Amino acid sequence: MSIPLLSLVVPFFNEEDTISAFFPRVVSCLDAIEDLAFEIICVNDGSSDATLQRLIDAANADERVHVIDLSRNFGKESALSAGLAEARGEVVVPFDADLQDPPEVIGELIAKWREGFDVVLARRVDRQSDTFLKRRMASCFYRLHNKLADVKIPDNVGDFRLMTRAVIEAMKAFPESRRFMKGLFAWVGFRTAVISYTREVRVAGKTKFSGWKLWNFALEGITSFSSLPLRVWTYFGFAVAAVSFIYAAYLIIRTFVHGVDVPGYASIFVSILFFSGVQMIGIGILGEYIGRIYIESKRRPLYLIRSRYNRSTSHER
């Protein structure tokens, strides 16, 4: 029997400080897994530091390391999609370069896969290494998303997971340009198992996700898998219309009983401002969905590859 191949897919964006710690630890962990060959697909997502050169050096030192250099920074979701498309393994594991997800857990994922599961999720049971704000935002996002969307995302499960070739081929068939990978991973289904682990601190460098980027990422996830924010405004419109009819009836009755008095300009001004704000929010939500339609209609590729590197060529392959 041939030895199965594991593809570890790792996006890199300005991670020059983590690379020296990344490869020794990851390669050591993968070498320790019995009856398994592996390749490491490193996707350089338009880094502006020395990340690319250090990845090329790693590829020259180990033929199992393959480097994909994107033409610019396309974002983590696109970089991850590029790595999944390049992966050749029977099983594929997306992984972060910062080593907050311990590579030792990959052996546990493989053990569950060998039990017959198509997808093995790695759930974070301890996120004390993350900031308080990030933990709170993540918790709120999972609760809100799962209330609004038909496709539920498992709590505290990131991109770190194992997927079989069948799952990867299903992922590659998705046509959309704007991708929320956690939602797509959940959408495909398949037989799934879950293991738990403790997240570690970053080995070096700084996170690339600011609070603003996390907010936009959450908004992307909600609009990708739910139309409820649009439907809410229909219900809100009916509610406002009902209140306005009731108030109109009240004014008519009051006029017949008490006559006509001078209207309150302050209350009218406040009402106008309030409903103007509500209308702007509704237009903004509508714009989010229209923007997605506009981008998808262009059919642009998710990413462009400038070059590929591995030891067999020492240059572009």
What is the distance between the alpha carbons of residues 183 and 178, in angstroms, rounded to a whole number? 12
Res. 317 pLDDT band, cuts 50 70 90: very low
What digits encode the pLDDT tens for the residues 120-173? 988 887 666 566 656 666 666 667 666 666 667 777 777 888 989 988 888 887
The predicted structure's pLDDT at residue 299:
79
What's the pLDDT tens digit per position in 236-279? 777 776 777 777 677 667 767 666 655 555 567 566 767 777 77
In one-letter notation, the amino acid at residue 266 is: A
Mean pLDDT to the nearest integer, 165-191: 80
Specify which residues 122 forms β-bridges with: 195
Q: Is 110 exposed, middle or buried (0-12, 13-18, 19+ CB in 10 A)?
A: buried
Query: Does residue 15 register a pLDDT over 60?
Result: yes
Contacts of 82 (CB under 8 A, 6+ apart): 43, 68, 70, 74, 302, 303, 305
Mean of pLDDT over the chain: 78
- Cβ-in-10-Å burial (0-12, 13-18, 19+) of 284 comes to exposed
Under 8 Å between Cβ of 257 and 191? no
Whole-prediction pTM: 0.68
Single-letter amino acid, residue 293:
I
What CA–CA distance (Å, rounded) separates 198 from 126? Answer: 5
Cα separation, 49 vs 293, whole angstroms: 34
> 58-94 pLDDT, tens per residue?
888 888 899 999 988 888 888 888 888 888 888 999 9
Read off the pLDDT of residues 195-252 as tens digits, 9 standing for 90 and up.
888 877 766 656 655 555 655 656 665 666 666 676 677 777 777 767 777 776 776 6
Q: Which residues contact 289 (CB under 8 A, 6 or more apart)?
A: 223, 227, 230
Task: Give dist(CA 185, CA 222) in Å, integer.
Answer: 15
Residue 190: its pLDDT value, please?
Answer: 84
